[in-house]
Structure 1
Amino acid sequence: MPLTTMTPERRRAWWTAGVAGMASYLDAGAIVTTGTALVLYQDELGITSGQFGQLSALLMVMIGIGALIGGNLSDRFGRRRVFTLTIMMYAVGALVLVAAPGVEALYVGILLLGFASGADLPPSLAMIAESAPENDEGKMVAFSHVLWMIAIPVVSVFGIIVGDMGATGARIMYGHLLVVALIVLALRMRLPESPLWMRRQVAVQTGTVDRSSLKDLFSRRWLPALTGVALFYAITNIAANTNGQFSTYMYVNVAGADVSTASAMSLVGLACSIAASLFLMRIVDTRYRMLGFALGTVTAVIACLVPAVVGVSILALVLFGVVYGIAGIVSGEPMFKVWSQELIPTAHRSTAQGISIAFARVVAAGVGLFTPLILDQSAELMFLFLAAVILVAGLIGFFWVARRPKVLQSEKDADTPAADASSHDLRPATSNAPTIHS
């Protein structure tokens, strides 16, 4: 629908999706920028190999901790209030990294940047879903993943331009994040609070519903949804993280290519992923969602089996990168973002996302510790493992997560707050076969 023909409500919702969704851009920007900037800082600041590993690990750990804490604070104090504070912290962290006089400052800056990046994600995604009009929630949440992927080529272009400038180049790269964060901060000041969160707060204050506690999230009503969503994301993210973090390693150390070839092929896979994300936006709110999810899962498994069966060569890795770049989007992380909004009530939505994100980062970090060792012993075995991982995640998504009842739309449709679903029977209907219309 052209922007000029949109209703004011839809225009406001897309504006919110874009401004709040920049949390994903800044998250990817922090990860990719740090991987390059630390190399550029290495000579001037005297970063050792041990410190390089510590700083990289610190960023990932702080993203997980930030998501865990920021999600819970968002449910208690509001989406807008929390993601305004987190974007301020992000800007401060980026500023410290721009001006870093020594390695000690890098630890401080990365701690702030990582924590703020993680804490910004759950309230931002919740704000998008809760502000979206009916039948557009999935599309607008999936749009945030497009922004996440756009950050990667943008940062890569910065890396190409400043790659020979040493520490000055690193300061320019972190300066890009600082400028974007300040622009997003200014734009977020104009966003109203989430209507669903506000409505629930009014209901709590008037005594219509009880104030929720974290214990409610772990009750029999919501624990199955939380567990299913967290397991799906953590398991599917193993494959995505392996592809993203170790793609160059596989091209160079296993297939015998050079870094330039690996980078070029990674950009091809990224372009395919962006195209797949745009396709997902078209089907995610339609009856074709789960058909696409099932086909994406099967295709992603096949993509892993190609190098596992024929051997890890440059051609096999290219085929894997292109096919998985498409199928992994339709059946991977974007679906976590959509399901985590639909299946968890407003009172716990951001907290549940924070728990899921933190859990997934820990699992990915644990698998990543052993991935190079497995690749050195048998790269084919690694791809068989990834195929099994994707299959398990797909089964969890199709037979567990997709069968859980949605609460987001019922909350929007209700005349009174339904965040704790106390007046609605939200138990899944008994069925012997999975529905294709989740």
Structure 2
Amino acid sequence: MSTTASRTRPWYTATLGGMASYLDGATIVTVGMASVILQQQFSMSSWSVGALNAVLMFMFATGAVIGGRLGDVLGRRKVYAVDLVVYAAGVVTVLCAPNQATLFAGVIVTGLAMGADVPTSLALMAEEAAAGRQSSTVAYAQTLWLAGVAVVQILGYFAGDLGMLSVRILFGHLLVVAVAVWVLRRGVAESADWQRSRTTPGRRRDLRAVFRKPYGLGLVATGLYFVISGIMPNTVGQFGAFLVVNLGHSTVQVFSMIGWATMVVGLAVALLFQRLADSPVRRVLLVIGLVSLVAGPLAAVLGDFSLLSLVVLFVANTVAGTWAGEGLYKVWSQEIFPTEIRSTAQGLTFGAARYVMAVFGLFTPTLVEETPTMFMGVLISLGAVATVIGLLWLPRLPRNGLRDAPPGDAPGAGAVPADTSLTGAG
């Protein structure tokens, strides 16, 4: 296959790359849902449940940092051709786990491989997108992320009460998808943009370039924003079943039914974002998403954690996660960083965010059980801070990664103007 072949069918390439996000979302919800069942099977305490989900996030973070850098150094194809094999091995380990130790080992391997896959695949999607559709193509990854969540919720609804068999069904789904995607990816060519980037001056490809002008502020801004705005979506994604069971006093099967209801909303939200990601309307979606980031946990508190108030939280989380959370972060990361360091920068910011989420997740089950109101208050405060960063800082950053940006190696070269329409900056 020629090096430009994948550019002639960008949505096929985007689908295979975006399946990293599908597996990311599906894995997070699968581990969160399965941990409720495994809590009884392996006599796990609430701390052990938190630790299992925290380990997944921690290893994802480590994999993102390592895999992101390797994606820039070795190429996109070399990384994502290998990591899904490792991912499948981790899932098999979980499926065969006879005890907690083996379960944790499988989750460690799975998280490490998944982390390596995401930043590399997102970079490939951006670089092989059709002209004028770069942001929309990357937004497609969030649609696939939600699709992964939705499929797991559907499986959980039908198999949620089957004990360990439901765990095997949930993780078996991950295994089948990973193997199928790995087979199909073998026919995808290397990123043409990445190949051309190998001819640029070495200092633009150097690791230190990520931390220097004109990219260093972008690294701090996107990383900080993703850390803060991603806490609530990650918490609800990982611990949605835990919240419904322990605060809503319901069952895993009921949680899956709620997932069905929010799934339709979530996919509609993602498809709308995908359609409008390259248009000025995206800024309106950002504002709505930031409002949802605060309104969701506030509704849970005001509703005294009733099942209905948790449904409001889940719907708000779906909107916030796409329009003002990980979905938008993915788009901003492609726009702000050039090809030479795109995967590296994303790996670092993904890693930083997931490290924080891992620590947060470690304490989440215990905090939810003991001080749920204070826990939601923390989420509300984080949403307020994310609003300031998302409206006043990130729109001011130059877009160094857009394909129509002029080439250059001097500080600020290769950049297009910042998106200042939200801030009024000139």
CA RMSD of the aligned region, Å? Answer: 3.2
Q: Secondary structure at the match of 1:347?
A: helix
Q: Secondary structure at the match of 1:408?
A: coil
Contact 2:55/2:358, CA 8 A, preserved across alignment: no
Residues 366 and 171 from structure 1, CA distance in 2 versus in 1: closer, same or farther, beyond 3 angstroms? closer
Contact 1:236/1:332, CA 8 A, preserved across alignment: yes
Cα distance in 1 between the residues matched to 2:297 and 2:18: 30
Could you state the TM-score of these two structures normalised by the residue count of structure 2?
A: 0.87
The question of 1:363 aligning with 2:346 is answered no
The question of 1:22 aligning with 2:22 is answered no
Q: Secondary structure at the match of 2:82?
A: helix
The more displaced of 212-221 and 297-306 is: 297-306
Determine which of 264, 271, 289 is the counterpart of 1:296. Answer: 289
Residues 96 and 9 from structure 1, CA distance in 2 versus in 1: closer, same or farther, beyond 3 angstroms? closer
State the Cα deviation string for residues 175-225 of structure 1 (Å, max 9, x = none).
322221121111111111111110011x14xxx554632111111321110
Once the two structures are TM-superposed, the CA of residue 371 in structure 1 deviates from its matched residue by: 4.0
Contact 2:6/2:189, CA 8 A, preserved across alignment: no
Cα distance in 1 between the residues matched to 2:94 and 2:371: 39
Counterparts of residues 33-432 of structure 1 (less than 5 Å)? 33-37=30-34, 48-49=44-45, 54-100=51-97, 104-163=101-160, 166-201=163-198, 203-204=199-200, 208=201, 210=203, 212-309=205-302, 311-372=304-365, 374-376=367-369, 379-409=372-402, 411-412=403-404, 414=406, 418=408, 420=409, 424=413, 426=415
> What is the aligned-residue identity percentage?
36
Q: Secondary structure at the match of 1:16?
A: helix
Contact 2:64/2:118, CA 8 A, preserved across alignment: yes
State the Cα deviation string for residues 250-294 of structure 1 (Å, max 9, x = none).
444434445544432233223312211111112110011112212
State the Cα deviation string for residues 78-107 of structure 1 (Å, max 9, x = none).
011111111121122223334446555434
Contact 2:60/2:116, CA 8 A, preserved across alignment: yes
Residues 164 and 385 from structure 1, CA distance in 2 versus in 1: closer, same or farther, beyond 3 angstroms? closer
Task: Tell me the amino acid that sits aligned with residue 413 of structure 2.
Answer: H
Once the two structures are TM-superposed, the CA of residue 382 in structure 1 deviates from its matched residue by: 3.5
Could you state the TM-score of these two structures normalised by the residue count of structure 1?
A: 0.85
Residues 293 and 35 from structure 1, CA distance in 2 versus in 1: closer, same or farther, beyond 3 angstroms? closer
Cα distance in 2 between the residues matched to 1:341 and 1:12: 20
Larger Rg belongs to? 1
Task: Tell me the amino acid that sits aligned with residue 423 of structure 2.
Answer: P
State the Cα deviation string for residues 102-152 of structure 1 (Å, max 9, x = none).
555434432221110010000000000111022211111111111111122
Gaps of 5+ in 2: none
Residues 425 and 323 from structure 1, CA distance in 2 versus in 1: closer, same or farther, beyond 3 angstroms? closer
Once the two structures are TM-superposed, the CA of residue 332 in structure 1 deviates from its matched residue by: 1.6
Once the two structures are TM-superposed, the CA of residue 369 in structure 1 deviates from its matched residue by: 4.0
The more displaced of 95-104 and 120-129 is: 95-104
Contact 1:304/1:384, CA 8 A, preserved across alignment: yes
Task: Tell me the amino acid that sits aligned with residue 389 of structure 1.
Answer: L
Q: Secondary structure at the match of 2:9?
A: helix
Aligned length: 421
